[in-house]
Amino acid sequence: MSFENIQISVDQGVGVITLHRPKAMNALCSPLMDELTQVLDDWEHNSDVRAVVVTGNEKVFAAGADIKEMQSKTFVDVHTENFITAGWERITTFRKPVIAAVAGYALGGGCELAMMCDFIIAADNAQFGQPEIKLGIIPGAGGTQRLTRAIGKAKAMDLCLTGRNMAVEEAERAGLVARVVPVDDLMDEALKAARSIASYSMPSVMLAKDSINSALNTSLSEGMMIERRMFHSLFATDDQKEGMQAFVDKRKPAFKDK
C-alpha cells in the first residue's frame, strides 16, 4: 500500500503510521483520514501488527483538521455529508493498542486524534490545544468530551474557551500525556513501549484495553464486574498457564496468543 498523506511501516510487531503533509503542518484533510482508516482496517486483521504508533514529525503532530477544506462549507453541507465523521471514528474502534507519539503542535483535530489513541508519549517540545474557538467553531472530534474526561472541567474550559496552547509540562501534570521524553528520543521510547506491548499475549492486551475503556462508560460497580469477568476469562487461555509457569521456572514466557 502506498499513500499520499501518510507513511507506514511494520517491524517487530509494531505498525507505525507517520502523518505526512509537511507543507500543511500535517493538517488532517479527508484524504489523509481516509488513508488512516484504510491502514487501520488492514492492520486490524494483520497478525504481524500487534501494536501501533501514530506520529508526525519533530515540529508538528497535526495542526488540526484542514481549515482550507472546511472554510467554504455550510451547515447543510457538513450535516448532510456527515462531514469527516466516519473516518475520524475509525481509530476509536481499532482493537489493538495505539500509542500517539507527539512532538510539536497537537492542535484542534490533532489534539483530538492524539486523545483517541490509547495513550500519549510526548516530546519535551509538544504543545496541546483546542484553538477552534478562534475560528468561530468549537471542537468536533472529542475536544470538549475526551479532553474534559482526561484533564477535568476547569482545564478543558480554559483551553477550549481561550484557545491557548498548553505546554507539555502542564499536559503531563494534568494527566493528558503518559510520559514526556526528549524530542530526539521520542520514537525510540514509543517503539520500545509498543514492542513491549507486542511481546505480551494479545488476548490479555486486548482485554486490558477494553477493560480500561469501559471505565469511562460505566459506574464503578459495573466496571468492576466487567474487569472481574475479563480477568476470569483469561484463565481459559494457554498463555495464562505459560506466563505463570515461566515465572515459576524463572524464564521468559513464550506466548502463543492461545
Which parts of this chain interact with ligand DAK (CB under 6 A)?
24-25, 27, 63-68, 83-85, 88, 105, 107-109, 112, 131-132, 135, 140-141
Cα separation, 205 vs 198, whole angstroms = 8
Name the minimum Å distance from CB 122 to ligand DAK: 16
Q: Which residues pair with 165 in a beta bridge?
A: 129
The burial of 171, by beta-carbon neighbours within 10 Å (0-12 exposed, 13-18 middle, 19 or more buried), is given as buried
E strand residue ranges, the chain: 6-11, 14-19, 51-55, 60-62, 98-102, 105-107, 119-123, 127-129, 165-167, 179-181
Mark whether 142 is an active-site residue. no
Name the minimum Å distance from CB 162 to ligand DAK: 13
Query: 65, 122, 126, 190: which is the annotated catalytic residue?
Result: 65
Q: Count helices and strands (H / E) in the chain.
A: 12, 10
Cβ–Cβ contacts within 10 Å for residue 16, how many?
22
Query: 112, 172, 189, 227: which is the annotated catalytic residue?
Result: 112
Question: Considering beta carbons, is residue 24 or 224 the nearer one to ligand DAK?
Answer: 24
Name the minimum Å distance from CB 133 to ligand DAK: 9
Question: Considering beta carbons, is residue 2 or 93 the nearer one to ligand DAK?
Answer: 93
Mark whether 246 is an active-site residue. no
Name the minimum Å distance from CB 155 to ligand DAK: 18
**Cell numbers placing 102:** 507527539
Question: Considering beta carbons, is residue 136 or 219 the nearer one to ligand DAK?
Answer: 136
Mark whether 87 is an active-site residue. no
- Largest Cα span, the chain: 65
Question: Considering beta carbons, is residue 112 or 239 the nearer one to ligand DAK?
Answer: 112
Question: Considering beta carbons, is residue 15 or 140 the nearer one to ligand DAK?
Answer: 140
Name the minimum Å distance from CB 57 to ligand DAK: 12
Mark whether 65 is an active-site residue. yes
Cβ–Cβ contacts within 10 Å for residue 256, how many?
11
Provide the annotated active-site residues.
Answer: 65, 109, 112, 132
